[in-house]
Amino acid sequence: MAEASEAPPPIPSFARKPEPPPQRKPAAPRPADTSKRSGQVLDWLLARLPTRYRGRAHDYLVLMRMDRPVGALLLLWPTWWALWFAANDFPPIGLLLIFTLGVFVMRSAGCVINDYADHGWLDAKVERTAGRPMAAGRVSKKEALTLFGGLLALAFVLVLFTNALTIQLSFVGAALAAIYPFTKRVTHLAQVVLGAAFGWSIPMAFAAVTNSLPPLAWLLFLANILFSTIYDTEYAMVDRDEDIRAGAKSTAILFGDADRVIIGVLMATFLLAMLLAGTRAHLAWPYFVGLAATVGLFGYQQWLIRARDRMACFAAFRHNNWVGLALWVGLAMALAVR
């Protein structure tokens, strides 16, 4: 009789169950509003990094909205308007490079502090933003503040290559960028504050080129506040219902059922401001062709948001990139044909 402790006979190889394949670590979820093309570019770039760094680098890049470059372009076009208006020609190449890089750095800084402010009380409760790195818990508050400080420091280094007036104005720009994300808790006019923060590059550009702040600089600054309020209201219309439930405030909520009419009034006022800027600068006909194209682009946006469909409102927001481009092309050509 076999001993009780005797080992059982080995299982034949043909009767063994195959071992399950090793589980791959799931990729970090992408926010719902990530641009597909930009996401593919980020994946291609991150593939060059060692595997252990890719996830963290991806989270930081998404936190800076590198997966959604359209926001940076909406800041870039008014900055370029200001540089061309201020120079009354092609601007100095050094300043063009400084301000172009500064746009992307400051936009990234603004997005980081925005997510720092919103990640718990708002982003985590909104379907479109719940996958963002801070809302999903993949980036800590300390990491976000460190990244924000580093981006501000980089932007300040760029400004040091300009002049004293521009450096002084840069402190106001940094304050506006830091304040904006918290305004949506206390006022429905947060989009106006955003316009001031995004548009502060305009007086800075005039200061860098002319070492002065002429009335034209402030006219363009006010025009950009109108422009930012237009596109950021369209953006806020996407999440209006969820923002109301979370207790956030926006112009989309303030305007209510009159949103399309008020956006139309803002569009007309913006066009008037840009018309005054063009006539004040004595620009040639291509600029006014650009203005006419903008009328058509705004008309298309009104058609997009006619039913207030979420994706259509988001498309209208993104469509403002073409408004900025049309005006800049008209401005550059008007100055070139003089």
Between helix 215-238 and helix 190-199 the angle, nearest 10°, is 130
- pLDDT at residue 22, rounded to an integer: 43
- What is the pLDDT of the chain when averaged over all its residues? 90
- Higher-pLDDT residue of 305 and 22 is 305
- Higher-pLDDT residue of 12 and 246 is 246
Among 21, 230, 247, 56, smallest CA distance to 138 is for: 56
Query: What whole-number distance in Å separates Cα of residue 144 and Cα of residue 167?
Result: 25
Q: Which residues of 249-282 are buried (b: 16+ CB within 10 A; e: fewer)?
A: bbbbbbbeeebeebbbebbeebbebbeebbeebe
- The predicted model gives 13-38 an average pLDDT of 53
- pLDDT at residue 322, rounded to an integer: 97
Domain-by-domain residue ranges, the chain?
Answer: 36-68, 70-91+164-336
- The predicted model gives 163-186 an average pLDDT of 95
Q: pTM for the complete prediction?
A: 0.88
The CB-side HSE value for 199 (13 A sphere, CA atoms) comes to: 20
> Of the ranges 30-44, 265-279, 321-335, which one carries the lowest mean pLDDT score?
30-44
DSSP line for 36-98: HHHHHHHHHHHTTS-HHHHHHHHHHHHHTTTT-THHHHHHHHHHHHHHHHHHTSSPPHHHHHH
- pLDDT at residue 338, rounded to an integer: 77
- pLDDT at residue 96, rounded to an integer: 98
Tokens 């989009």 sit on residue: 191
- Whether residue 4 has pLDDT greater than 50: no
What is the DSSP-derived secondary structure letter of residue 160? T
Contact between 220 and 81 under an 8 Å Cβ cutoff? The reply is yes
- pLDDT at residue 25, rounded to an integer: 39
Query: What whole-number distance in Å separates Cα of residue 48 and Cα of residue 33?
Result: 25
- The predicted model gives 68-90 an average pLDDT of 96
What would the two tokens of residue 196 be? 């001031």
> Which tens digit of pLDDT belongs to each residue from 287-327?
999 999 999 999 999 999 999 999 999 999 999 999 999 99
- Whether residue 41 has pLDDT greater than 60: yes
What confidence tier does 3 reach under pLDDT thresholds 50, 70, 90? Answer: very low
Phi-psi category of 57—alpha, beta or left, where left has phi over 0 and alpha has psi -120 to 50?
Answer: alpha
> Of the ranges 157-161, 244-248, 313-317, which one carries the lowest mean pLDDT score?
244-248
What would the two tokens of residue 237 be? 């219309």
Phi-psi category of 7—alpha, beta or left, where left has phi over 0 and alpha has psi -120 to 50?
Answer: beta
- Whether residue 29 has pLDDT greater than 80: no
**CB atoms near residue 97 (< 10 Å):** 12
Give me the count of residues in the chain: 338
What confidence tier does 32 reach under pLDDT thresholds 50, 70, 90? Answer: low
- Whether residue 230 has pLDDT greater than 90: yes
Among 166, 168, 170, smallest CA distance to 155 is for: 170
- Whether residue 173 has pLDDT greater than 90: yes
- pLDDT at residue 34, rounded to an integer: 65
> Which tens digit of pLDDT belongs to each residue from 80-118?
999 999 999 999 999 999 999 999 999 999 999 999 999
The number of angstroms, rounded, from the C-alpha of 228 to the middle of its chain's C-alpha atoms is 11
> What percent of the chain shows pLDDT beyond 90?
77
> Of the ranges 36-40, 56-60, 82-86, 248-252, which one carries the lowest mean pLDDT score?
36-40
Query: What whole-number distance in Å separates Cα of residue 213 and Cα of residue 250?
Result: 31
| Phi, psi angle pair for 17, to nearest 5° | -80, 135
